[in-house]
Amino acid sequence: MSETPWHTITIRVPFANPKHATIAMQVIDVDPELQREAVKRTLTVEGNNLVASFATSTVRLARLTTNGFLENVDLVARTIGEFGEDSERKPVISR
């Protein structure tokens, strides 16, 4: 019986600067994949880009894994936008 071929995907997400890409990588990398035997994930930073490479045992897992990753990236990017370095210049309004 032959081995099942792995399905590979690489996603590059641009950030404003390398620091933000590194923050995103560190935040997302904390959570391991739920199906470690069926999903292999590698996160790196190349310049301003967060680069995620996935190898999955099925196409369905590729879709689910990339959807979850992109949801996490969206949350991290919105959080950086709200609380990042630029937000330090915003006035604080007390109530």
Report the pLDDT value the prediction gives residue 65, as an integer from 0 to 100: 92
Is 94 contained in some domain?
no
Is 88 contained in some domain?
no
Report the pLDDT value the prediction gives residue 66, as an integer from 0 to 100: 93
**Residue type present at position 62:** A
pLDDT tens digits for range 52-87: 999 999 899 999 999 999 999 999 999 998 887 655
pTM across the whole model: 0.80
Indicate the pLDDT class of residue 90, thresholds 50, 70 and 90: low
- Structural domain count of the chain: 1
Report the pLDDT value the prediction gives residue 38, as an integer from 0 to 100: 85
**Residue type present at position 86:** D
The secondary structure of residue 40, as a DSSP letter, is E
Is 91 contained in some domain?
no
pLDDT tens digits for range 19-51: 999 999 999 988 777 677 888 999 999 999 999
The CATH number covering residue 25 comes to: 3.30.310.50
Q: Can you say how many angstroms the Cα of residue 67 is from the centroid of all Cα atoms in its chain?
A: 10
Range of the domain at 71: 7-83
